[in-house]
Amino acid sequence: MPAHRLRFDVNCSILFADLPLLERPAAAKAAGFDAVEFWWPFAAAVPRASHVEAFIEAIHDAGVQLVGLNFFAGDMPGGDRGVVSWPAHSAEFRENVELVAVIGAATGCRSFNALYGNRVADVPLGTQEETAVANLAFAATAMARIGGTVLVEAVSGPQPYLLRTAADVVAVLDRVRTEREVRNLAFLADLYHLTVNGDDLTKVIAEHADRIGHVQIADAPGRHEPGTGEIDLDGHLHQLVQAGYRGWVGLEYVPSGPSEHSFDWLPRGHRAADADQTSEGER
């Protein structure tokens, strides 16, 4: 797969999962990558300071750049997919935002993913939407202090996650911008989730490329590495480049075998952040 000048990072919350979490940045570096991203790496919204310090140290010691980090998203193993729209968790989310800003300042990370959350049965939908607008604006204001951007994505799966399509995400971003007058929000285009939910990726990129702040990839079906499914990931990445995207592409897939072997689709010379990734057609 040609890389089309894009820079790739490894999501160390889903890849190298057989290793202790703090060893994964070094494993990504050993595989040839200079950048990593993580889901929220702790069980609690505000863990012990020593745990946060150890996480930051692991990033620095590995010699990689942290380019993406999720805010606290609730009990992910239990099925939660974010708390941004949950009124009962607003205080917890906002406390987490302040800690994320500290981690961002310490690591140089500037992209932060805010998972919107599942539908809460006993809360009016309008209340969830209003809560999300307020919390996203709060997060964006906090991240602006370090030059950061808050990302919002559509998510697939059986849970009743409220944002399913690119149009859903863009509508939320527009509402926050209009009602709260914050600008540092962007669309996280996860090409796997969008495909599984029925979006036409060609149309999504054509219509929303200027709103995309980060990209994540996995093939479908299966959510494994590129080449194991039916998504034309090479074609869609090329379309993104042609539309002007120059950000990171997060490898957020479940490897079909050992993680280090799942990168064979990407030549090692294309994995470093400063690699010459110009395709033949662009020379």
DSSP one-letter string for 82-125 = --TT-GGGHHHHHHHHHHHHHHHHHH---EEE----BPPTTS-H
The Cα 116–Cα 150 span in angstroms is: 12
As a dihedral over the C-alpha atoms of residue 140, residue 13, residue 95, residue 49, rounded to 10 degrees, the angle is: -130
The Cα 155–Cα 172 span in angstroms is: 14
Exposed/middle/buried for residue 90 (C-beta within 10 Å: 0-12, 13-18, 19+): middle
92 part of the active site: no
153 part of the active site: yes
CA atoms within 13 A of residue 255's CA, in its CB half-sphere = 19
Q: What are phi and psi of 213, to 5 degrees?
A: -105, -15
The Cα 87–Cα 80 span in angstroms is: 14
The Cα 186–Cα 208 span in angstroms is: 10
The one catalytic residue in 98, 129, 130, 252 is 252
Neighbours of 160 (CB within 10 A): 13
Q: Is the backbone of residue 244 left (phi > 0), alpha (psi -120 to 50) or beta? A: left
Tell me: cis bond preceding 267? Omega within 30 of 0 counts.
Answer: no
The one catalytic residue in 98, 153, 181, 207 is 153
Among all chains, which residue has been given the structure tokens 């944002």?
A: 163
Catalytically annotated residues? 153, 252
